[in-house]
Amino acid sequence: MAIEIGKSVSTKETQEYHKQVVIPLMQHRGPICEPLIYVDDTVLKGQKIGECNHDFGAKIYSSISGHVIGLEDRAHPSCTTKPSIIIESNGKNETINFVSQQNPSKENIFDTLKDSGIIELNGYPIFNILNTTKTVDTILINLTHSSDVKSNCTPENISKLISGMKLLMKASDAVQGAIIIHKNNNQFASAISSGLNGDNIGIISVKRNYTPLMYNLLAYDVTGMRISNRDTPAEAGVMISSAYATLAVNDAVLEGIPPIEVNVAVSGAIGKPGIQRTEIGTSFKDVIQSSGGYVGEPAKIIMNGLLSGTAQVTDEVPVIQSTSEITVQSNDEVVRNEPGPCIHCARCVDICPVNILPARIASFSDIGRYDECSKLNVYSCVECGLCDYVCPSNIHILQLIRFARTALLKSFTIPEEKESPNLKLGCESCQTPCHMGAISSRGGK
């Protein structure tokens, strides 16, 4: 992409001087990006600063104009440190020339998305999700992830959402699309249905809130096809996108703006709770500062929702693409309950969306019997956190499940996929003596 100095697009009237952004070189699941700039370089807003050609890699763009003052490990919202580019603003807000497109063709959308580095909230680049060998005929927009909906689904965004969805349908040759809405969210459904006219897009109301880790489950609930936890929803012919990614696709394709700003809903013990449009790389501290600052001493800062979000070690962590909600808890809101004995009340079993036995897995994990956890399908867990939420004994079920998974990954290999007995039709007595290997009872030969 040629770097040209375009006109100054001011998204915020009061761009602060000496504002720093810390842009992690890894916001996705793939390997770490290669930085394209050096310390002391001057960068423009929207300039590409990180490159990664891996399948799961996503390119990274500068979110402000200024000069690079460092390239070092910094705190990352995933509670680790990741190599990051630190850019100090020069206050000029110079951008590259964003190339907008009208009526892009399928190839144009594909190329733009490949270059834009938009990451779906589950960590996979949106281009990687689109670029599948499976036939995708349905696009689903998941509007049930509460923090994503809170920040991105404001009334003015709905037309953009639908246009982004149409772009995704065009790119994947999908013939139909559906918007997934929680059944309690009625006023939102009516707002969306008034924005739809024809276009093979429907609205599906569901009973659950689906986090980005539950996309396989969402595909199962919509299509009725069971998907193994090693596969993606493309197996069932659907592609699922969050509100954030759909809006980002719309911006990237139609206006040429790569993902450099995200909407963040800030709530909890702060002065002015609300939604903010924030540059990627802004520290949580700055975001909270501009939402009125802390009220009292903060005790816990949580990214992306109370049920399955990550608690942060420090408020110096930067906003990344998957940040959509920041919650600040004061000291008396922090849950500090001591776990008690399991009374086998089965509340966790009743609420589990993937039909496993969280209580049994938790008690086996607690005594170190990870093999039993594996037998009880610990890998099927989608980490929604509901079992933990309803537990009357305050047992840290989700933590124990994660612990068992980590231990299993370190000690065992993931068990081989079970083969469907439907394929085992023959007795195989003809197959065994044939030294040419010509006869196979598998695959219907």
Partner 1 sequence: MKLVVSNPPHTRQGVSIATIMRSKIAILVAVSLLATIVFGFVVLELVLVSTLAAVLTEAGIQKLSKQELTIKDGDAVSIGMMIALLLPYGVPLWIPAVGSFFGVALVKHAFGGLGANLFNPAIAAWVFLNMSWGALTGSGSVPHIGQYSDIFLELGAGRLAEVSPIVFFIGGVYLIHKKYIDWRIPSSYLVSTIILALIIGENLSYVITGMLFFGVFILATETATSPITKNGRFIYGLLCGVLTVIYGSISYNYVVAVLFAIFIANAVSPFIEKNTYPRPVDEVAL
Site residues (vs partner 1, CB under 8 A): 79, 216-217, 220, 226-229, 297-302, 306-315, 327, 329, 334-335, 337, 340-347, 349-350, 353-357, 359-360, 376-377, 380, 383, 385-386, 388-394, 396, 398-399, 402, 417-422
Q: List, in order, residues 6 or more apart from 214 with CB less than 8 Å away.
A: 208, 353, 382, 384
Backbone angles phi, psi at 350, to 5 degrees: -65, -30
The string of DSSP letters for 202-262 reads EEEEESSPPPGGGHHHHHHHHH-----TTS-GGGGTEEEEEHHHHHHHHIIIII---S-EE
* End-to-end C-alpha distance for the chain, whole angstroms: 52
Provide the token pair at 116.
């834009």
How many angstroms separate the CA atoms of 161 and 108, rounded? 19
Work out how close the CB of 365 gets to partner 1 at its nearest, in angstroms, rounded to a whole number.
Answer: 13
Work out how close the CB of 187 gets to partner 1 at its nearest, in angstroms, rounded to a whole number.
Answer: 25
Backbone angles phi, psi at 43, to 5 degrees: -120, 155
Q: How far is C-alpha 40 from the chain's CA centre? A: 32
How many angstroms separate the CA atoms of 305 and 212, rounded? 12
Residue 43 DSSP label: E
Looking at the Cβ atoms of 152 and 308, the one nearer to partner 1 is: 308
Looking at the Cβ atoms of 25 and 288, the one nearer to partner 1 is: 288
Looking at the Cβ atoms of 313 and 407, the one nearer to partner 1 is: 313
Q: Where are the beta strands (DSSP E) in 137-212?
A: 138-143, 176-182, 201-206
How many angstroms separate the CA atoms of 109 and 394, rounded? 48
Work out how close the CB of 226 gets to partner 1 at its nearest, in angstroms, rounded to a whole number.
Answer: 5
Other CB atoms within a 10 A radius of the CB of residue 393 amount to 16
Looking at the Cβ atoms of 406 and 440, the one nearer to partner 1 is: 406
300 three-class SS: strand
Looking at the Cβ atoms of 15 and 310, the one nearer to partner 1 is: 310
How many angstroms separate the CA atoms of 322 and 213, rounded? 13
Looking at the Cβ atoms of 1 and 390, the one nearer to partner 1 is: 390
Q: Return the H-helix or E-strand segment holding 337.
A: none
Work out how close the CB of 353 gets to partner 1 at its nearest, in angstroms, rounded to a whole number.
Answer: 8
Looking at the Cβ atoms of 71 and 357, the one nearer to partner 1 is: 357
Looking at the Cβ atoms of 168 and 376, the one nearer to partner 1 is: 376
Work out how close the CB of 432 gets to partner 1 at its nearest, in angstroms, rounded to a whole number.
Answer: 24
Looking at the Cβ atoms of 11 and 228, the one nearer to partner 1 is: 228
Q: List, in order, residues 6 or more apart from 138 with CB less than 8 Å away.
A: 174, 175, 176, 177, 178, 222, 223, 237, 238, 239
Is the distance from CB of 16 to CB of 106 less than 8 angstroms? no
Work out how close the CB of 34 gets to partner 1 at its nearest, in angstroms, rounded to a whole number.
Answer: 31
Work out how close the CB of 166 gets to partner 1 at its nearest, in angstroms, rounded to a whole number.
Answer: 30
How many angstroms separate the CA atoms of 219 and 240, rounded? 8
Q: Return the H-helix or E-strand segment holding 187.
A: helix 186-195
Looking at the Cβ atoms of 143 and 356, the one nearer to partner 1 is: 356
Looking at the Cβ atoms of 98 and 403, the one nearer to partner 1 is: 403
How many angstroms separate the CA atoms of 290 and 271, rounded? 9
Work out how close the CB of 286 gets to partner 1 at its nearest, in angstroms, rounded to a whole number.
Answer: 15
Work out how close the CB of 60 gets to partner 1 at its nearest, in angstroms, rounded to a whole number.
Answer: 27
Provide the token pair at 353.
């969306």
Nearest to 379 by CA among 412, 349, 351: 412
Residue 439 DSSP label: -
Work out how close the CB of 302 gets to partner 1 at its nearest, in angstroms, rounded to a whole number.
Answer: 5
Work out how close the CB of 10 gets to partner 1 at its nearest, in angstroms, rounded to a whole number.
Answer: 33
Work out how close the CB of 74 gets to partner 1 at its nearest, in angstroms, rounded to a whole number.
Answer: 17
Looking at the Cβ atoms of 138 and 363, the one nearer to partner 1 is: 363
